[in-house]
Amino acid sequence: MSMETNNEFISSSSTIVAIATANVLSETANVTNETTNVTAETTNMATATANIPANTMHVSKTYKGTIVKYINQRHFGFIKFSTRETTTRKEISFHKSNIIKNNFKPDIKEGDKCHFEISPGIKGDNATNIVINYRPISKIKKTNNTTDENNAQAALFTKTMLEFFCAAATANK
């Protein structure tokens, strides 16, 4: 029986087993070395992440606000919100592309309530990850009945009732 291994012909079966075992052992050693290198790289990455100053790591905080102005042609607007630290209300700009969920598609209206996060931008802070979750329903205006309308309704009622009484009186005779 002959077999080719590493461009050599070997005819003995015991030699084949010994060479195959040696190849498996050397491949196992290579895999172990690669695993050690990956573990070392992971440790280096974790150490590098731990060395980042705290002020550069961004922890996102969700704010509540109301859309106070939206310019549809430019696809941007402003959200008014207040922080817990200060009771003053601030306005922050946003772009339509930063809205991740809008239950009232396709339009955005002034007065919509939303949740958002703040991220730094080129021209200052911007609202990102905006979720519009409430739209107030506009109230129906009550019409004040004028005296002319009231008089017309009263006259119609009186006329109708008179006709019913006349019809009832003639039916009983």
What's the CA gap between 75 and 80, in Å, rounded?
17
The fold of the 62-134 domain, in CATH, is OB fold (Dihydrolipoamide Acetyltransferase, E2P) (2.40.50)
**What is the pLDDT, as a whole number, of residue 50?**
45
Task: Kindly list the domain boundaries of the chain, sorted by start residue.
Answer: 3-50, 62-134
The kind and range of the H/E element at 102 are: strand 99-102
Instruction: Report pLDDT digits (tens) over 6-38.
Output: 444 444 444 555 554 555 555 555 555 554 554
pTM of the model: 0.45
Sign of CA dihedral 115, 119, 124, 126: negative
Residue 116 in contact with residue 60, Cβ under 8 Å? Answer: no
Q: What is the mean pLDDT of residues 154-159?
A: 90
**What is the pLDDT, as a whole number, of residue 127?**
92
Q: Which of 121, 111, 128 has its CA nearest to residue 69?
A: 111
Backbone angles phi, psi at 70, to 5 degrees: -140, 125
- Which of helix, strand or coil describes residue 68? strand
In degrees, rounded to 5, the angle at the alpha carbon of residue 48 between the alpha carbons of residues 45 and 49 is 85
Which amino acid is located at 23 in the chain? N
pLDDT confidence tier of residue 3, bands split at 50, 70 and 90: very low
> In terms of pLDDT, which residue wins out, 139 or 106?
139
Structure tokens at 86: 């200060």
